[in-house]
Amino acid sequence: MAVSLSGSEPSQAARAVLSQRVRAIKPSPSMAAKTRVDQLRAQGQDITDFTVGEPDMDTPAHIVEAGVQALRSGQTRYTSSVGTRALLQAVQAKFRRENGLDYGLDQLVVGTGAKQLIYTAFSATVDAGDEVIVPAPFWVSYPDMVLLNDGKPVIVPCTEADGFKLTPGLLENAITARSKWVLLNTPSNPTGALYTEAELRALIEVLRRHPHVWVLTDEIYEHLAYGDARHVSIAALDAGIAQRTLTINGVSKAYAMTGWRVGYAGGPAGLVKAMGTLISQSTSCVAAMNQAAAAFALSADQACVAQATALFKARRDRIVALLNAIPGIRCAQPAGAFYVYPGVEGLIGKKTPDGRVLESDLDVSMYLLDEAKVAVMDGTSYGLSPYLRLSFATSIEQIEIGCERIARACANLA
């Protein structure tokens, strides 16, 4: 007789076995939003989805072919936990060519996405009670990754007036004796904010006074910089700061390779070695054929990256113009990434057609899903309200349809 193990709710026994650190965190809001959209679409509803943080185009054909050839040539076995030599050399050349960073091979490590490498860096360095300075708005996973490693995320709100960026004064005030890391994300998810060289040098001046604070810089969106904006790596600006900086990147966004799960990082050899040890005891290594495709992507002609950036810029310009035309919404133009972070304070306090009052950006996001069939993320999840996050990694047609729906729903508010 078979025993049924089905059921969506955790049993009392399952809850009892869970650790305190797991109980303290929540599922990723962006993943939860994607699940909700999938459910609504499965019910036959026509949803315009602005939640997805990945390029909507396929991985370029020449990169796919490199992966296929790797499979055919027998690259299907375990690799070194830190990455294949071919990929490490490609990463090394990329850092030199594009970022002015000269890492030895022993200073480089590959992981199953940039996300794993950030988590692994915290696992290798954060002890109970250590603090990680997280500027807000932040990518939703940052604070929970700190909590999962028994650290304390120190959230520092960064206002729209400051371009949603950490200022020297805010950084200085956030540093304590327990500060272990400051986390920078440039260009940023969710705001698209990009730190200029002058802004990074100003932060360096503060960090020089606090040599116990390390810098983790997430540069996964570096190629998505628009107009005159230029990405700069903080580790390239100061030799001393470089000795306590971990630079995180990957192939997911620039090459539309989110599902391939390949990230890479460069930093001090001792830290990188420790991260490699942790990876060897957790995931072992990135799939060999995926590493081969990533190495080819980094080394081959980069025209596909420039083409994608131009496409995203056109989408950015269109969505900003359409959102700013809607009464109650104000949308700053992001310098990079593929997100906008419009303010919706002009909608707070208004009434929906069924008499409900919109009291928060979460209420606004749910109203747009119910009334307009448009899925967006609430700013509360990213640490700064009242804002929404919309991804423009979708077609111009979908941007226009979605914004028209939002406009109609906003016009129906009392």
Co-location of 231 and 90 in the same domain: yes
Pairing of strands 179-185, 48-49: unpaired
Mark which of 270, 299, 328 sits at the end of a domain.
Answer: 299
Co-location of 281 and 142 in the same domain: yes
Give CA–CA dist 122/216, Å, rounded. Answer: 10
Distances (CA, A) of 66 to 77, 268, 298: 16, 31, 12
Is residue 19 one of the residues assigned to a domain? no
Is residue 17 one of the residues assigned to a domain? no
Predicted local distance difference test score (pLDDT) of residue 7: 57
Predicted local distance difference test score (pLDDT) of residue 248: 98
Contacts of 11 (CB under 8 A, 6+ apart): none
Predicted local distance difference test score (pLDDT) of residue 10: 59
Please, what sign has the CA dihedral across residues 79, 85, 86, 89? positive
Distances (CA, A) of 3 to 6, 7: 9, 12
Predicted local distance difference test score (pLDDT) of residue 87: 98
Give CA–CA dist 299/92, Å, rounded. Answer: 10
Rounded to the nearest 10 degrees, the angle between the axes of helix 269-280 and helix 114-125 is: 110
- CATH number for 338: 3.90.1150.10
CB 134 within 8 A of CB 183: yes
Co-location of 322 and 392 in the same domain: yes
Residue ranges making up the domain that contains 318: 27-56+304-411
Is residue 183 one of the residues assigned to a domain? yes
Mean pLDDT by 10 residues, the chain (414 residues): 56 76 74 78 90 94 98 98 98 98 98 98 97 98 95 98 98 98 98 98 98 98 97 98 98 98 98 98 97 98 97 98 98 98 98 96 94 95 97 97 98 96
Helices (H) and strands (E) in the chain, counts: 15, 12
Count of other CB atoms within 10 angstroms of residue 191:
29
CB 388 within 8 A of CB 361: yes
Q: Which parts of 191-297 are beta strand (E)?
A: 214-218, 245-250, 263-266
Strand partners, 108: 266
- CATH number for 185: 3.40.640.10
Predicted local distance difference test score (pLDDT) of residue 5: 54
In the numeric block, which tokens belong to residue 57?
């185009």
